Structure 1
Amino acid sequence: MPAQAPTKKFFSLEEAVALLPFVRATFAEAHKAMLPLRDEVILYKRLQQSREEEALDYDDPDLVAINQILEEKISAYEDLFRLWIGKLTDKGIQVKQFEKGLVDFPYRSADTGEEYLLCWHLKDDGLFYFHGPNEGFAGRKPITLLPE
């Protein structure tokens, strides 16, 4: 029997607002945990590029060591990324831009049945915007226009 696709979670405006402290804290913790590792990945990529320019061949021991460390750092970063994304997506929150702290909460109008996305950005003080499923951040409208 084929596995069923998970059902999409829809949030009321109140549910989404209630989750904002969790979302904000999750982004703060994630960025704090991931920033040092991201900086190390950047450093090792620069070392790798520099060493590739100097090395006579790709079997150069220093280059091999740098490549191995870089692979380990990238893998650790990806694992952390999946962990933090999962903390949000497990609740039905859609992460649009992790580094910028941009998320959407799926919402369905009780009146029309149409779907919208309640849009929140780390710089927002509250949940003030929504947009259609195909409009994105640029199509944000004030939450006061959200159909009930």
Structure 2
Amino acid sequence: MENKRFTLDEANDLLPQLKEDLLKLQQLTAQFEEQFVLYQKTKAHHKKFASPVKEKADPFFEIEGQLDFMRMETDMLIENFSRKGVLLKMISPGLIDFPAVLDGEDILICWKEGEEHVSHYHGWNDGFMGRKPFPEA
């Protein structure tokens, strides 16, 4: 959704759905990371103790398929943020920017996980450290 601009009210109206989407994404990335570490350990162990005789089946085919599927799900969830016109800056902790205009200037209304509602903004080049309270908040 290119060039979408949000008002503060629109950002706050969308926030509950974004929080839900973010939670799903955080859970999925945590599962992926856990599964990937297990995969790496298992593969290293297998390599260390495997017989030099060629195995008939790839013992890692199933877990690699699961990891690929989880990665595709993660990519889809991340893309859903873009489709809604918002910028997902960080997954954990969640950090989301909403393109907006304030006094004729392009800005980003920003929300950080843990905040009840959207109430701050910053310039496109200021980043999170340059955030200020939104005038209407």
Does residue 18 of structure 1 match 2:9? no
Deviation at 1:123, TM superposition (A): 1.4
Flag structure 1 segments of 5+ consecutive residues without an equivalent.
1-5
Q: Which has the higher contact order (CA 8 A, sep 6+)?
A: 2
| Equivalent pair of 1:27/1:101 in contact (CA under 8 Å) | yes
Change (3 A) 1:38 1:76: farther
Give the TM-score normalised by structure 2. 0.79
Deviation readout 1:17-45 (Å, 9 max, x if unpaired): 11111111112233345543432122112
Which residue of structure 1 lines up, in the alignment, with residue 65 of structure 2? Answer: 72
Does residue 39 of structure 1 match 2:30? no
- One-letter amino acid of the counterpart of residue 116, structure 1: I
Give % identity. Answer: 27
Task: Return the alpha-carbon distance in structure 2 between the equivalents of residues 105 and 36 of structure 1.
Answer: 28
Aligned positions, number? 137
Deviation readout 1:123-147 (Å, 9 max, x if unpaired): 111112211112222222222389x
Q: 2:94 aligns with which of 96, 101, 112?
A: 101
- One-letter amino acid of the counterpart of residue 72, structure 1: G
Q: 2:22 aligns with which of 5, 20, 27?
A: 27
Deviation readout 1:38-70 (Å, 9 max, x if unpaired): 32122112222333455587x864xx523x345
Flag structure 2 segments of 5+ consecutive residues without an equivalent.
none
Give the TM-score normalised by structure 1. 0.74
